[in-house]
Amino acid sequence: MLENEIREKIKLESLKHLNKIAQVPNKSFDCFDCEQLINVVYRDLFSFSIRAGGFGKSSTIKVMTSPLGKTYDFRNLNIEEKKMYIPNIQTGDILFFHTQSLRDNKPTKDNYYPGHIGLYLKDNIFIHAKASSKKVMLST
């Protein structure tokens, strides 16, 4: 299977969960937190458990388990440098969101790791389980 086909499958699989309930902690099979959404997509497509492999939000940024995609560390970049990388993001890439401001380059001990994750779809749109909105949704 070609890389573009795999990326399209990741996108289509994630869209199956659009508008499902999002809450923390996730309390049922058909309910997601942001990490569980990614875990279910990988599980259903690749028979790979991100959680069983120990790659949750707090450690996935250190270890990329997929041969697809690249890892970029934005912590020491200014806002203009960060914007330069946006065109490199591809369909199916996992996005890790720092819990601090985009302009903050010095993470504190409490929020050094990502506080939120989602999947990039295309055209600056990503899918994620947003607990405050109580659903899996698309955002820009």
Beta bridge mates, 96? 117
Pairing relationship of beta strands 31-32 and 21-22 according to DSSP bridges: parallel
* Phi, psi at 102, each rounded to 5°: -55, -30
Structure tokens at 6: 């795999």
Tell the residue number behind the tokens 């970049």, with chain if given: 77
Q: Give the model's confidence band at 18: pLDDT under 50 very low, under 70 low, under 90 confident, else very high.
A: very high
What pLDDT score does 63 carry? Answer: 39
60 has pLDDT over 50: no
Burial label for 42, CB within 10 Å (0-12, 13-18, 19+), is: buried
Neighbours of 45 (CB within 10 A): 15
- Per residue in 71-101, pLDDT (tens digit) is 666 667 778 887 787 788 889 888 877 655 5
DSSP state of 76: T
Give me the percent of the chain exceeding a pLDDT of 70: 64
Say how far apart CA 29 and CA 129 lie, in whole Å.
Answer: 14
106 has pLDDT over 90: no
What domains appear along the chain, each with residue ranges and CATH number? 3-139 (3.90.1720.10)
Say how far apart CA 77 and CA 102 lie, in whole Å.
Answer: 10
